[in-house]
Amino acid sequence: MAFDGIVTKAIAGELQTLTGARIDKIFQPNKNTVLLGFYLDGSNYLLNLCVDVSNYRIHLTTHQKNNPKVAPNFCMVLRKHLLRVTH
């Protein structure tokens, strides 16, 4: 699917839900996927960011993925910089 203006508008509309939210969790279940946990007004949201060449996407989800016991370095860097800013 092409990533055109229609898709971009739909994504922007969905992400408006997160305006004012606080990042409280960051996971990296595999090398191409990052999950950002957001908290806003008593509700939790999970943003799935996938950069896989054949299956790229960004969307809100409720589906948890299995995470490795030891977080990859990129995930640790994201936690260091993003969680420090939001707390």
Comparing 32 with 62, the larger pLDDT belongs to 32
Q: Give tens-digit pLDDT for 5-16.
A: 898 898 899 899
* Domain ranges (residues) in the chain: 5-86
Helix (H, G, I), strand (E, B) or coil at 45: strand
Beta bridge partners of 38: 23, 45
**pLDDT, mean over the chain:** 88
In the prediction, which pLDDT does 23 show? Answer: 92
Confidence at 1, pLDDT banded by 50, 70, 90: low
Domain 5-86 belongs to what topology? Answer: ibrinogen binding protein from staphylococcus aureus fold (2.30.310)
Residue carrying the six token digits 């990042």? 23
- C-alpha span between 70 and 8 (Å, rounded): 34
HSE, side-chain direction, 13 A CA sphere, residue 86: 18
In the prediction, which pLDDT does 46 show? Answer: 94
In the prediction, which pLDDT does 87 show? Answer: 54
Token readout for 21 is: 């939210």
